Amino acid sequence: MRAIFFAMLCVFSIMDASAGALNPGTEKVDSGNPGRRFYLDEKKLQKTVASAKSGNLSAISKLANHYQWAVSDQVQAIYWLRKGRN
């Protein structure tokens, strides 16, 4: 059940990220840098990591998106995606 929930969370996250491309004028950030939407500053990153380590799937998804899109660190993105799967 947890894996299904996480998979759905990832799909909705991707759909939400592409909403600006599908509906021009609705994006919340600069379309020249879509990774900014998922960027977590140091304070938010620390809080999100702590929450994710305790099993919060929403936090895990935020971290995966942060590392995938904002930081372009595929190793960390995959780490958090796998952590959410378990």
Share of the chain above pLDDT 70, in %: 60
Contacts 24+ apart (CB under 8 A), 1-9: 2/57, 3/85, 5/57, 6/57, 6/60, 6/61, 6/84, 6/85, 9/57, 9/58, 9/61, 9/84
Confidence band, pLDDT 50/70/90 cuts, at residue 23: very low
Spatial contact of 60 and 80, defined as CB atoms under 8 Å apart: yes
Confidence band, pLDDT 50/70/90 cuts, at residue 39: very high
Whether pTM > 0.85 for this model: the answer is no
Q: What is the mean pLDDT of the chain?
A: 78
Q: What average pLDDT score do residues 30-37 get?
A: 70
Q: What residue ranges do the domains of the chain occupy?
A: 2-85
